[in-house]
Amino acid sequence: MQPTHTRFFSIGTLLLSVLLFCRFPMSTPAETVTIVDANLRAAINEALDKSENAPITTDEMATLTRLEANNRDISDLTGLQTAIHLHELSLNHNLIADLSPLSALIRLQHIHLEDNTISELSPLSGLINLRHINLSHNLISDISPLSGLMNAGWISLGHNIVTDWSPLSGLEKLHGINMSHNPVADISPLKDCLNLQYFHTWGTPILSLAPLSELPKLREISICGGEIQDISSLAKSTSLKSLYLPFNDISDISAVASLTGLKRLGIEHNQISDVSPLSGLTELTWIDLRHNAITDVSPLTALSNLNWIDLSENRITDVAALTSLRSLSWLGLRQNPIADVSSLERFSPTTSISHSDFVNSAFPEAGPKITGPWLWAIVPGYRLDATDLLAKATNGKATEVKVATFGATEGKSVGRGIWEAHTLAPTGGDNINQMTDALGWGSGSAIYDHVVYGSLTLNAPQEQETTMLVGSDDEVKVWLNGELVHYNPVLRGAGDFQDAFPVRLKEGPNVLLVAVNNRGHGAFSGFFGFAKGTEYTVNPIDKKVAIKVPAWDVNADGITDILDLILVGQDVGNTQAPHARTDVNGDGRRNIADLVLVASHLGDLSGIAAGPA
């Protein structure tokens, strides 16, 4: 009989072996994934930080949570089925027809497949976690495989051949849809999408707007060229904040009178003569009424919050009534029969007026436009809003505030591109398209729904309180020394300056960052400068400008925030701390005094007060 102590020893050894095996399992050679398409393999290796042609294992594929491979000439997705933890996939502008390798990627939440050759959507039918789906610019006619995607929040199906939209009727979480450039659409199935907030379509004839009036949460309707005549059903859409109905056949806008929450209204290129239904819409800040048949603008005088209005190409002879609108920053009056322009002199000094060659004498006389040299970068972006698109494109390595504080660096990566140098033409209504085309980024539809950032530094011989001038097609943001000094979320054309706003140039180096988006899908332009007499010189691209960073901006990212507090907190009490800047007050110790100093400057922008380093 085996001795007891020997038996216990054997059992103990066995248990120890089992525990060790569980803790440190025997490794087996990882299986290599077959990826047929060389361009897809290169994109995956890039995401994995490997060489272009390196073999890829199943374990490595399982680490992928996000893959962006736009404009890579990818045609075969074989191998992608092993990316079992993929949450976001962006394969826009490729040659993809077969989606079957995606059929089991049930963790996918965001999928972007714009501009491919897809016609069959059945491989997507089981991807129940999809939330954002972009399938625009394909060959899709049958969208029934999408009917079971109950978590879908946004679906874009523009530029396809869809005629039956009923598969979307049961998608209870759907809050946004784009169905631009499809055949004539019966949108009645959408009346059951009770959480729908955004409805966008350009170039798709809409049979009736009545189904939209049943949607209690609808915030934005954008229908361009939908052959719409009757908008009476919209009287019930009282939740609307934005309404865009350009290039239709609308003459009667009386239904709009009940939409008292409207902030933005675009009804240009219609047949409207009577604007009295707008008189009670006092929340309106932006109106586009170009190319109608308007003669009387007096009903607009009650719109005290109005910031921007374009009344160009109408039949208006007298605009004196509008001089009471003191919040108005831009007024478009081109191609109206205004014989006596003396009333234009009575507008606020801050109102920029576009009327043939007339310039409001209170609007500053312009100095030269800044042609550069600029550093440019382009990133995807449908709108300019609170989203930091530079941070999104660089995974946080660059931010708008940081670039606006310290400037951009030529050749540094921004998403799939880099900062590149080029000038900006001072004239014409398409100068950004010309610039992007010259840089090889494409122009027109190739860069629709993108944002272009421009960065430069300039040197001022002394501190100056001056006025900056801007024109843009379309939305525009301007930062000076880290501070956002101008934002105009506008859809318009531009061939010159349109906006004016006060700024302060510091003595010495100043950093300028601008952003313009291409949301309007047409010309793409931007103009930037200062009032005449402003003294400055634009620095060459290769001139290094050192900006002094305040001690409390510990991580030197252009703003003092919670991240700086965290860095100091991690080093409190540590005399050998790796971060030299965490000794904020410079007393040789890292303690509560440093934390208090940082906390007292939370929210401060480093570039505003900073001088040369």
Residues above pLDDT 70, as percent of the chain: 87
According to the model, what pLDDT value does residue 172 have?
94
- Angle among Cα 209, 214, 220 to the nearest 5 degrees reads 65
Q: Measure CA 458 to chain center.
A: 27
CATH class, 367-538 region? mainly beta
CA separation for the pair 261, 283 (Å, rounded): 6
- Phi, then psi, of 177 in degrees rounded to 5: -145, 140
CA–CA dist 399, 63 (Å, integer) = 26
pLDDT of residue 328: 87
CA distance 538 to 459: 6
Would you place residue 8 in the very low, low, confident or very high pLDDT band (cuts 50, 70, 90)?
very low
Contact 136, 178 (CB under 8 A): yes
The answer to whether residue 514 scores a pLDDT higher than 50 is yes
Residue 589 reports pLDDT greater than 60:
yes
Please report the beta strands in 157-313, taking only residues with DSSP state E, as ranges in sequence order. Answer: 176-178, 198-202, 220-224, 242-244, 264-266, 286-288, 308-310
Q: Cα(112)–Cα(235) distance, rounded to whole angstroms?
A: 35
Distance CA 518, CA 524 (A): 6
The domain spans of the chain are 228-363, 367-538, 562-609
**Unique residue bearing structure tokens 């209870």:** 172
CA-based diameter of the chain, in Å? Answer: 121
- Secondary structure, 3-state, 504-531: EECCEEEEEEEEEECCCCCCCEEEEEEE
Residue 146: which pLDDT band, with cuts at 50, 70 and 90? very high
Which carries the bigger pLDDT value, residue 385 or residue 13?
A: 385
What's the rounded Cα separation, in Å, for the pair 179 and 140?
Answer: 12
pLDDT value, residue 356: 55
* pTM for this prediction: 0.66
User: How many CA atoms within 13 Å lie on the side-chain side of 114?
Assistant: 25
pLDDT at 114 over 50: yes
Higher pLDDT, 6 or 322: 322
302 pLDDT above the threshold of 90:
yes
Distance between CA atoms of residues 353 and 559, nearest Å: 36
pLDDT of amino acid 362: 55
Output the pLDDT for position 520.
Answer: 57
Was domain 228-363 assigned CATH 3.30.10.20?
no
Residue 423 has pLDDT above 80, yes or no: yes
Q: At what angle do helices 562-571 and 592-599 cross, to 10 degrees?
A: 180
- Can you say how many angstroms the Cα of residue 335 is from the centroid of all Cα atoms in its chain? 32
pLDDT per position as a tens digit, 11-67: 444 444 434 443 444 445 569 999 999 999 999 999 998 888 899 999 999 999 999
What's the whole-number average pLDDT of the chain? 86
Confidence of residue 237 (pLDDT cuts 50, 70, 90): very high
Please list, in sequence order, all residues whose beta carbon lies within 8 angstroms of the beta carbon of residue 76, skipping any fewer than 6 positions away. Answer: 36, 37, 40, 98
Tokens of 90: 């962006």
Per-residue pLDDT, 7 = 43
Indicate the pLDDT class of residue 334, thresholds 50, 70 and 90: confident
Answer yes or no: is pLDDT of 547 > 80.
no
- Which pLDDT score is estimated for 495? 77
Note the pLDDT of residue 6.
Answer: 47
Average pLDDT rounded to a whole number, residues 595-602: 76
* pLDDT for the residue 441: 82
Q: How far is 226 from 246, CA to CA, in rounded Å?
A: 9
Q: Which range has the worst mean pLDDT, 160-169, 306-315, 333-342?
A: 333-342
pLDDT beyond 80 at 98: yes
pLDDT, residue 489, reads 84
